[in-house]
Amino acid sequence: MDLKGKTAVVTGAASGIGRATAEAFANAGAHVLLADINDEMGEAAAAALNAQGHGADYFHVDITDAQSIESFRQAALARRGRVDIVASVAGWGKTEPFVENKPEFWRKLIDLNFLGTVMVARAFVDGMMERRSGRIVTVASDAGRVGSLGETVYSGTKGGVIAFTKALAREMARYDVTVNCVCPGPTDTPLMAAVPDKIKEAFARVTPMRRLAKPSEIADAILFFAGPQAQFVTGQVLSVSGGLTMAG
């Protein structure tokens, strides 16, 4: 995979799938703009990439805040002149019965998982349309495809990301801008670390490959959609779940 000369934005880049994606892009030759709200970990991730001889910059970005995203857009373009790839990886969730959810919990899920993805795409798509070139990769979840016990509204937000991806792909196709979605299954991330061991063990048992995904394995799928080999692939949803969900 050769991304030399490309500039890639990765949200949620301080840890987990986001950090693995930033590393994958950097290893492929892209200059990576890491966006997150965790400054300590985000700066450390960017510093590690720079120490390896890659190009990387960290930006504090709250993807639930339109002004924060706009400030990031301006800073990114001032620093690099253009953004070729956007990987919207940032997301959040917590297992809790639907009937115990509070409205503020729903709002956080919607703002972060769905509207954040929408706003980040909107921030950078104009330049891609003007150049008639670009890659947008969203990260949803298999919960958005088949539902997930204890993650009802989370599943709804991720289903929204899937539908948004397909619709945006239709609009962007005439500009040669591709828009695709990666749907991870249970993955060994810091968010998963907060899940009780018995639930993690249950995830592994019901997965045909009998383990959780590694963040790097999700990043590999994101890298594919962002690269030249996927130039005629758009509006697609790829499950990376060890066979957990095989239905369409």
Q: For residue 64, give its domain range.
A: 7-185+218-237
Q: Give the pLDDT of residue 21.
A: 98
The whole-number average pLDDT for the span 3-14 is 97
pLDDT over 70 percentage in the chain: 94
Give the pairing type, strands 177-184 and 134-139.
Answer: parallel
The CATH number covering residue 150 comes to 3.40.50.720
Asked, for residue 74, whether it belongs to a domain, the answer is yes
Asked, for residue 248, whether it belongs to a domain, the answer is no
Asked, for residue 212, whether it belongs to a domain, the answer is no
Q: Give the pLDDT of residue 16.
A: 94
Residue 235, classified by CB atoms within 10 Å of its CB into exposed (0-12), middle (13-18) or buried (19+), is middle
Asked, for residue 228, whether it belongs to a domain, the answer is yes
pTM: predicted TM-score of the whole model, two decimal places:
0.92
Neighbours of 169 (CB within 10 A): 19
The whole-number average pLDDT for the span 152-161 is 96
pLDDT tens, residue by residue, 46-70: 999 999 999 999 999 999 999 999 9
The answer on pLDDT for 148 being more than 60 is yes
Asked, for residue 168, whether it belongs to a domain, the answer is yes
The whole-number average pLDDT for the span 4-26 is 97
Measure the CA–CA gap between 165 and 217, rounded to whole angstroms: 21
Number of separate domains in the chain = 1
Catalytic residue among 154, 164, 203, 225: 154
pLDDT tens, residue by residue, 123-144: 999 999 999 999 999 999 998 8
pLDDT tens, residue by residue, 223-241: 999 999 999 999 999 999 8
**154 classed as catalytic:** yes
The whole-number average pLDDT for the span 167-188 is 93
Q: Residue 167: CB partners within 8 Å, gap ≥ 6?
A: none
